[in-house]
Structure 1
Amino acid sequence: MKHQTLDQLSIVADVHAEPTDLIATRSQRLERWAKLLEQNPDRRLEALTGTEHKLPEIREKMRHDDSPLAVAFEDTILRAQGLRDDTYGEAKRFFELTDWQLHEIVCHCHVGATIRARWAASRVRAVMSERLGFIAWLRGTFAH
């Protein structure tokens, strides 16, 4: 493999370098995820079923091809920042979420089998501002 500078590559290819340091914090990663969801607000995404009832080792591996988590994983910037896949456990790690916070975003018990992308984005934003409410706070505090 021959290594070339960006200037050398731009002669033979259309190179777009996006700054990845702009999403270094948890809130910046969550903001990017919300914006990605808002790009197609009426997109119907698959919810994950019963996240709160699964054993932790099963819950960590939960995923769906067209879920809000898949939308995040489709993004090259988030993948460059370290998002490894579109599983529940990886989203929990990467976005620094509790089980109850992620449950509020992706679980079917709130919306049924599918979630509109705009709804998922609003839930991501609620997590960012910690507006999930008192009950969600209690769950997150005492559920372990």
Structure 2
Amino acid sequence: MPIEVVAALLLRGEKFLACQRSAHKARGLLWEFVGGKVEPGETKTQALVRECQEELGVTVSVGRPVLELTHAYPDLTIHLTLFAASLTGEEPQRLEHADLRWMTWQEAQSYPFCPADQEILAQLGQIGPFGKG
């Protein structure tokens, strides 16, 4: 049974927020979209709000789902839902990640992303919300 995971597509102009995983975590130092596991009794929206608060110290307004995918890692299988989300005021802080960076889709191509997030980037390159330029 896949683990339910949520992630936020936070946009600022032509850039989105990418987070670098801590070195001591699985897939350490790879880049990803902010988010995490849905806890028992939580909706996906509640989980995303909680994860953004825990990981970035921000409050987000969660919009529509952008895409969903299932990805099998060697140690677990996840069902990931990426939501459009927006910051409600605070600037993201690096509370749990090695680094945070606003990057364009094109810039992201030169960063090592987690495999599931690579799939997201590939799909976003085809469907938007930003073009390949």
Q: Give yes or no for TM over 0.5.
A: no
Normalized per residue, the structure richer in strand is 2
| Structure number with larger C-alpha Rg | 1
Q: TM-score, normalised by structure 1?
A: 0.28
Q: TM-score, normalised by structure 2?
A: 0.30
